[in-house]
Structure 1
Amino acid sequence: MLERRSALEKDLQQGGHEGAKGERGVKLGEVRGWSLVQASGFPDQAASFEAALASLLGASLPARVGDGVSVQGRTVMRVGPEHFWIVGPEKDDLAERLSQTVSPAVGSILPLSHSRTRIFIEGTAAREVLAKGIPIDFDPNVFKLGQFALTGLHHTPVLVHRSAADRYEICAMRTFAHSIWEWFTDAALPVGYDVMR
């Protein structure tokens, strides 16, 4: 199996930067050691598809687009009416098991791990930095813990997931990783940042 190489390897070698008042209000880094599978059901087979997926995962699926649930070390996100992204550990056999369980007449399974990069930002100033370029209301009463949004950052499609109180994970196409990283480091200059390796 091919080993994944970081699209941000060189970027992560650079140090952080102090903010205007000498502070470092956020931490930036790359999420490592994960897998991503897209599971999609066909509209006329949605009930069968979702039942098979829920049975294999051993839990109820998120009911609404934008919601995510944690299940046995995985995060299941409903990204569309019959579409789910499942984030799990790096050495996960979920894609293979789903392919064996879900009939091609019911839905499709697509591993996406190698095509995506996940960047995290955490800290008390994370919402302030994100609000500079992502058109989401980051108020904690609106964008709640566990929720995510498919949106854009400088004309680049991204998925933003609120994974903890002051932590957000941004999943983007690998080819845009460097540009997105540069945007984050520029946007975080006023509040300061540390780079986590």
Structure 2
Amino acid sequence: MLDRRSALASATTNHSKVLKLEEAPDFSLTQVAGEETAIAAIAGALPEKVGQAVAREERTIFCIGPRQFWFVGPAGDDIGAKLDGSAAVTPLSNGRTRILIAGAPARDVLAKGLALDFHPSAFGPGTFALAGLHHTPVLIHCIADDAFHLYAMRTFAMSVWDWLRDAAQEFT
């Protein structure tokens, strides 16, 4: 098996006293499409509607569309093998880059480029959205009060990274 290579290998990590911006590379991402009952029989309870996420143990399940889910877990997590043909399974781990932005100004940085309400009452831990950032589709997941994971297509990861660094300059 080939080793995974970072799309951000040439990028420099951006840390300041108030903001952390770094790649969060050790994850597995699988898209699963099919009947909810068949998937839930193996994976457990699923989000009930598009835009909801369920976190359980080391895995988060995002409902990204009707009967479509993203399973995010630790590197090597193979939900596809467990489903054993009961759903359409597409491994996406090598096609996506996950970026962590954390710190008190994280919401302000993201609000510069995303038309979303990032107030904690509207976008709190566990919330996610599919949106466009700098003309690039991303999934933004609030993982803690002021911490977010952004999932971007690998080919656009450097563009997203550069935009985030530029938007965060006032906080570094």
Q: TM-score range by the shorter chain?
A: over 0.9
The answer for the alignment partner of 1:142 in structure 2 is: 122
Instruction: State the Cα RMSD in Å.
Output: 1.4
The answer for the alignment partner of 2:60 in structure 1 is: 75
* Residue 37 (structure 1) shift: 0.5
* Residue 186 (structure 1) shift: 0.6
Pick aligned residue for 2:95 from 98, 115, 118: 115
1:52 corresponds to which letter in structure 2? Answer: A
Scaled by the length of structure 2, what TM-score is found? 0.95
Contact 2:29 2:93 in 1 (8 A): yes
Whether 1:31 aligns to 2:11 is no
* Residue 7 (structure 1) shift: 0.6
Deviation beyond 3 Å, 4+ runs, structure 1: none
Percent identity, aligned pairs only, is 47
* Residue 101 (structure 1) shift: 4.4
Larger Rg: 1
2:2 corresponds to which letter in structure 1? Answer: L
Scaled by the length of structure 1, what TM-score is found? 0.83
* Residue 147 (structure 1) shift: 1.1
* Residue 93 (structure 1) shift: 2.2
Contact 1:52 1:101 in 2 (8 A): no
| Aligned counterparts of 1:101 and 1:177: Cα–Cα separation in 2 | 31
* Secondary structure of 1:11 counterpart: coil
2:3 corresponds to which letter in structure 1? Answer: E
The answer for the alignment partner of 1:2 in structure 2 is: 2
| Aligned counterparts of 1:32 and 1:54: Cα–Cα separation in 2 | 27
| Aligned counterparts of 1:119 and 1:92: Cα–Cα separation in 2 | 19
Counterparts of 1:1-197 in structure 2, within 5 Å, are 1-12=1-12, 16=15, 24-41=17-34, 49-57=35-43, 59-98=44-83, 100-102=84-86, 107-192=87-172
Compare relative contact order (CA 8 Å, sep 6+) and give the higher one, 1 or 2: 1
Contact 1:124 1:166 in 2 (8 A): yes
1:51 corresponds to which letter in structure 2? Answer: T
| Number of residue-to-residue matches in the alignment | 172
